[in-house]
């Protein structure tokens, strides 16, 4: 039953399983951030939204006994945070990045404040689908236990990719993101579009938080998020604001995050903390490799302050 039974094959298998498990919050947060950034704003506060979403989902699941109600509540809480960010940023000279930092602190603070009584009780988890049922090897079964949210995230990234290209709403978001003036000339109000885009982005980040507390790691603690909300922002840049790219990048990050535990499961304990830092190092390397001082990033929304 132990990992040595399938030898070193356990490592790639554990990484695959880990990539699926760890990547889900990245998928939702990065898709949300992609929508927000496509509209020309950046919301760094998604980290706080993620933590608050995790707490809300867990608290509601404990109180009602339904993880799905918890998920819904987290999405609603995320929506509120997003709308708040979107509303406050419309005032002249209010910096969207700085407001994001403030919301990061505020969201975490509120989550810790209200989450204190929920550290102890156990909430029902979101269900997973056992795709590994055909195998007798427990490692394979564990790796292919796929949560429903992962599948929803995968479908959502395809839908968003299609919607950005082919729907009126997708076009409106892109126009507003590329040029406020062009949008105004078309009779669109950029502030309203950004408000809605940030709201939807916040709701998706809330769902990502719900996954953290209701499935993996599956409990509410004050250390539930280790910067996923923030890495997602970097990930969106890497994915060139393309939802399909976000999905692929999230898988890559999930795999990097699973590296440490996977190696530990086969007995490699040296440098555990450095492997733990692998996703951050990977993010940084990718940012260095894909940024350039002389040309603007391909596919970058023109109004985005982070690329100006």
Partner 1 sequence: MVDTVAGSGMPALFGARGYPPALEWIARRAEAFVIPLAALIVGMALFSLFILAVGKSPILLYETMWRGGFGSWFSVQNSLSRAAPLLLAALCVALPARLGLVVIGGEGAIVLGGVGAAAIGVALSGAPSFIVILAMGVAGMAAGGIWIGAVGALRHYRAVNETISSLLLAYIAIALMNQLVEGPLRDPASLNKPSTQPLADIYRIGNIPGMDVHWGLVVGVLACIISWVLIEKTRWGFAARIAGGNVRAAQVQGLAVGPLIVGFTALAGGFAGLAGMLEVAAVQGSANASLAAGYGYTGILVAFLARHNPLAIIPVAILLGGIDASGGLIQRRMDLPDATVLVLQGMIFIIILLSETFYGRFKAFNPDLWKRPDLVRGTA
The contact set with partner 1 (CB under 8 A) reads 44, 88, 91-95, 97-99, 101-103, 105-110, 112-113, 116, 226-227, 230-231, 233-234, 237, 271-274, 276-277, 280-281, 283-284, 287-288, 291-293, 306
Cβ of residue 109: shortest distance to partner 1, in angstroms?
3
Of 12 and 227, which has the nearer Cβ to partner 1?
227
H-helix segments, the chain: 10-38, 46-64, 67-88, 96-115, 138-143, 148-166, 168-178, 180-185, 190-214, 228-238, 243-265, 272-276, 278-290
Cβ of residue 99: shortest distance to partner 1, in angstroms?
5
Q: What distances in angstroms separate CA 38 from CA 60, 303, 308, one per listed residue? A: 32, 9, 14
Question: Is residue 210 within 8 Å of 153, Cβ to Cβ?
Answer: no
Of 91 and 134, which has the nearer Cβ to partner 1?
91
Q: Which of 265, 254, 281 is nearest to 21 (CA)?
A: 254
Cβ of residue 97: shortest distance to partner 1, in angstroms?
6
Of 21 and 85, which has the nearer Cβ to partner 1?
85
Question: Please, which contacts does 2-5 make with residues 24 or more away whose CB atoms are closer than 8 Å?
Answer: 3/139, 3/265, 3/266, 3/267, 4/266, 4/267, 5/137
Cβ of residue 41: shortest distance to partner 1, in angstroms?
14
Cβ of residue 113: shortest distance to partner 1, in angstroms?
4
Of 79 and 230, which has the nearer Cβ to partner 1?
230
Of 189 and 291, which has the nearer Cβ to partner 1?
291
> Phi and psi of 146, rounded to 5°?
-105, 125
């Amino acid at each position: 039953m132990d990992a040595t039974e399938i030898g070193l094959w356990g490592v790639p298998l554990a990484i695959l399983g880990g990539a699926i498990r760890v990547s889900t919050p990245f998928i939702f947060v990065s898709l949300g951030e992609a929508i927000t950034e496509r509209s020309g704003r950046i919301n760094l506060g998604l980290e706080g939204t993620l933590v608050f979403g995790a707490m809300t989902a867990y608290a509601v699941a404990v109180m009602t006994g339904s993880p799905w109600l918890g998920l819904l509540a987290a999405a609603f809480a995320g929506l509120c945070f997003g709308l708040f960010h979107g509303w406050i940023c419309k005032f002249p000279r209010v910096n969207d990045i700085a407001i994001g930092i403030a919301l990061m602190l505020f969201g975490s603070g509120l989550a810790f404040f209200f989450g204190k009584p929920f550290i102890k009780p156990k909430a029902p988890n979101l269900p997973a689908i056992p795709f590994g049922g055909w195998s007798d090897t427990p490692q394979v079964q564990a790796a292919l236990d796929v949560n429903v949210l992962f599948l929803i995230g995968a479908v959502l990234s395809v839908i968003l990719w299609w919607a950005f290209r082919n729907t009126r709403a997708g076009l409106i978001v892109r126009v507003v993101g590329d040029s406020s003036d062009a949008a105004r000339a078309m009779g669109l109000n950029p502030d309203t579009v950004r408000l809605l885009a940030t709201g939807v982005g916040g709701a998706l980040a809330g769902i990502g938080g719900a996954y953290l507390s209701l499935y993996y790691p599956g409990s509410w603690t004050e250390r539930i998020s280790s910067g996923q909300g923030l890495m997602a922002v970097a990930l969106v840049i890497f994915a060139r604001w393309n939802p399909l790219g976000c999905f692929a990048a999230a898988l890559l990050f999930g795999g990097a995050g699973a590296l440490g535990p996977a190696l530990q499961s086969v007995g490699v304990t040296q440098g555990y903390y450095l492997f733990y830092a692998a996703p951050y190092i990977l993010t940084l390397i990718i940012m260095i490799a894909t940024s350039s001082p002389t040309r603007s990033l391909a596919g970058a929304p023109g109004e985005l302050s982070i690329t100006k």
